[in-house]
Structure 1
Amino acid sequence: MRVLHVVTLHTPTHDFGGPTRVALAQCRGLRERGHQALLLALGDGFGDEELPHEVEGARVRLFQARHVLPRFEVSGITSPALLTRARSYVRSADVVHVHLMRDLITLPMALLALRAGTPLVLQTHGMVDPTENRVARLVDALGVRRVLRRADAVLHLTERERTETAAVVAPAPIAPQYRLVNGVPAQERRRKTSGPPTVLYLARVQAGKRPADFVAAMPTVLARHPDARFVLAGPDTGALADTLAHADALGVRGSLDRVGALDRTEVMEWLRRADVFVLPSIQDAFSVSVLESMSVGTPVVVTETTGLAPDVARAGAGRVVPSRQDADNGPLLGAAILDLLTPEANERASEAAFHLVRDSFTIDAVLDELLSVYGRVRGAGGAVGI
């Protein structure tokens, strides 16, 4: 089967985060199962390097991003060259799988798939929900509602995402909806740590993921574990300077190690070194980093509004804290981290996290469900070559 995935952006430092990582994992998995999967996206940040044709085992076709509407950031980039060739990509696919957001790439590609009559699957990653933003509402009227109504399938991560995406087109009915969680490769063994405690933040350093709360948790932990190391890893997408300044103001900068963007191998290495993984974000629908952390047996601290919070709490795979945005949030995070640094609690949570991923969130299980959805939208059969 020929599957064309479309996502907005890929950069060497994974600045766009979750949607691209999910699309890459799905394409890689489909390829390993003998299907012909191609990821179509914009490329940016490669400088004079040639845009790659393969990323992390997935076939990709990248076109240089043009920042035509800079004030809209990722939503304002496009590529005339990509859009010129888009029709041929869509027509040569058996299924078009669009990782949809309100932008100048994924929305036009979804509309084109509808026009071409190619089976269309949409996955929104929590990025398309009701809004009062006037520009976003205009984009909804110009095309988002149409593709959500007429697609062959719309995928959601959580019940909240399902209802919010459907609300965008209400009172009209949305296309058939299916749940598809994110998944990661099952690991053969749990990590074992030693030495001073290591507490890890590994995500884009942007305000919405609240790295400042990670720093604000440090004094509580350091009061009991003065030798603990806090690691701030991931690409800076706007909040690094303020986060480091916050650490200086709290007098904890000496215990904070800054690590930049990491490749896939480095990500897993850092997750195996950590005693606790912390993601204070209140905007992550279903964090791949949290799944990867649990896959190696590293307990996690997440907020109650993130998509994985119920699973973490139910399995005992870490700690769930309130989604507060005030001065008390740092101490609350700190208390949760301290709890997980107790050897007995850490061991129990580590084992629970490891088995939670193996039982419920492997990429193999995700691919089984994804292929079932593809089968529903196109029927039996397949073809060769993109």
Structure 2
Amino acid sequence: MMEGKDDADLFADLGLSESIASIPSYTFIRDGLNRIFASSNNIWNVLIGTRLTPPKPLSDYDLVHIHNPVPLAGMVSVALHCRIKGIPYCVTTHGISKVPKIPEELGLSRGQRIVFNHGFLRAYKNVLSNATHLFALSEGDQDTITEWFSDQSVSVLPNGVDLNVSPEAPEVDTKVDLPDKPVLLFVGRIMASKGVDDLLEAFSLLEHDCKLIIVGPMRDEHFKDQIHTLSDDVEYRGYVEQAELDALYRRADLFVFPTRSDVFPLVTLEAMAAGTPVVSTTVGGLPEQIPDQVGRLVPPKEPKTFAAAVDGMLSNEQLRTEMGRAGKSLVEERYSWEAVAKAAVTEYYRIVN
């Protein structure tokens, strides 16, 4: 895999060591363009490349699995090396359904859209069209792939979650001790696209007396004052260690996630794995994750509707308990890493045999 600054922490959490080999990445093109254009956004991250130096010669491998779409340069490089060596490759298309929306979301000009279509989209589609198989995170992503490549081999393979988060696990951190009132938990980047505006407005409209815990890195600083001045019952914890996060998932009465734009978020599945019901929105793959028996979904950008859904759930403890159990069973069946890995390996064997 390509090297990243958080690799060591990630491998430690997963208990991985010798089985992982990092492939160096280079960022000088990205860094140079950021300096030239005084850019602080991530638009040039597509130009992060990689030196394909696996532990064994590439020709010794039976299959390469690429995850995309950013950085595009690294993805194109790996695919090109595979085609030269005649090695089949498959691709997990993370959020492919969002790719056509990128120009609008970034506010690209007409000229920039031309560059995007011919520089990014054409290269991206070329990699996908030459893949032996494509994995989609959700049925919505699979539909996009089918529209682009009607004859391409494709199947749905979601990301998985750790099942070590469970209601039966002991409390592991005293910082999780909370008042004797219902607890709402939000986990995610603190930014507008995650619906933080809608979350705070919805909380101010709730009829129930409850506490809101917000966890995640601050991506938009203007939310700091909003969070701290809204109510004494709103607490921002920032980044927390995994053990504390697991305890919060277990302790929460309801997981609230009014995201405005997402593909297939894992935080909702992590909450369900802990036996905690979810109130979220009808974006991306969330309707596939959260059927009626495990939570409630409302349209995005509707804080009043979101607040009503939360109040409805808080009014019915038995319903929350039943939904928590159903959500945990659903995650164990479909979204555990074991289930996801088995599905991936089955497809790998089909490809190479």
* TM-score (norm: length of structure 1): 0.73
Matched, 1:163 2:163: no
Bigger strand fraction: 1
* Residue aligning to 2:91: 122
* Residue aligning to 2:324: 350
Q: Is the 2:275–2:325 Cα contact (8 Å) retained in structure 1?
A: yes
Q: Is the 1:321–1:332 Cα contact (8 Å) retained in structure 2?
A: yes
Whole-Å separation in 2 of the counterparts to 1:120 and 1:284: 26
The correspondence for 2:64, drawn from 96, 104, 109, is 96
* CA deviation after TM superposition for structure 1 residue 41, in Å: 2.0
Q: What SS does the corresponding residue of 1:360 show, helix, strand or coil?
A: helix
* Residue aligning to 1:28: none
* Residue aligning to 1:57: 15
* CA deviation after TM superposition for structure 1 residue 101, in Å: 0.6
* Residue aligning to 1:363: 337
* Residue aligning to 2:107: none
* CA deviation after TM superposition for structure 1 residue 334, in Å: 1.6
* Residue aligning to 2:191: 206
| 1:111-166 Cα deviation digits (max 9, x unpaired) | 33233222211011214633473243123455212111110110112222112234
Whole-Å separation in 2 of the counterparts to 1:182 and 1:84: 25
The correspondence for 2:305, drawn from 332, 354, 362, is 332
Higher relative contact order (CA 8 A, sep 6+): 1
* Residue aligning to 2:279: 301
* CA deviation after TM superposition for structure 1 residue 65, in Å: 6.2
Q: Is the 2:165–2:246 Cα contact (8 Å) retained in structure 1?
A: no
> Partner letter of residue 298 of structure 1?
T
Q: Is the 1:302–1:309 Cα contact (8 Å) retained in structure 2?
A: no
Whole-Å separation in 2 of the counterparts to 1:144 and 1:340: 43
Q: What SS does the corresponding residue of 2:285 show, helix, strand or coil?
A: coil
Q: Is the 1:96–1:119 Cα contact (8 Å) retained in structure 2?
A: yes
Which region of structure 1 is more displaced relative to structure 2, 69-78 or 116-125? 69-78
Matched, 1:266 2:248: no
**Gap change, CA 1:173 and 1:331, over 3 Å in 2:** closer
Q: What SS does the corresponding residue of 2:160 show, helix, strand or coil?
A: coil
Matched, 1:231 2:213: yes
Unaligned segments of structure 1, at least 5 residues: 1-39, 380-386
Q: Is the 1:120–1:153 Cα contact (8 Å) retained in structure 2?
A: yes
Whole-Å separation in 2 of the counterparts to 1:262 and 1:63: 29
Whole-Å separation in 2 of the counterparts to 1:182 and 1:319: 21
* Residue aligning to 2:81: 112
Which region of structure 1 is more displaced relative to structure 2, 98-107 or 127-136? 127-136
% same residue: 22
Count of aligned residue pairs for this structure pair: 320
* CA deviation after TM superposition for structure 1 residue 295, in Å: 0.7
Whole-Å separation in 2 of the counterparts to 1:143 and 1:124: 14
Q: What SS does the corresponding residue of 2:51 show, helix, strand or coil?
A: helix
Q: Is the 1:102–1:136 Cα contact (8 Å) retained in structure 2?
A: no
* Residue aligning to 2:204: 219
Which region of structure 1 is more displaced relative to structure 2, 176-185 or 257-266? 257-266
Whole-Å separation in 2 of the counterparts to 1:52 and 1:298: 26
Whole-Å separation in 1 of the counterparts to 2:335 and 2:194: 22
Unaligned segments of structure 2, at least 5 residues: 104-112, 170-177
Supply the RMSD in Å over aligned alpha carbons: 3.0
> Partner letter of residue 93 of structure 2?
T
Q: What SS does the corresponding residue of 2:264 show, helix, strand or coil?
A: coil
* TM-score (norm: length of structure 2): 0.79
* Residue aligning to 1:85: 53
Q: Is the 2:272–2:327 Cα contact (8 Å) retained in structure 1?
A: yes
Matched, 1:186 2:160: no
Whole-Å separation in 2 of the counterparts to 1:53 and 1:303: 28
**Gap change, CA 1:75 and 1:111, over 3 Å in 2:** farther
**Gap change, CA 1:174 and 1:209, over 3 Å in 2:** farther
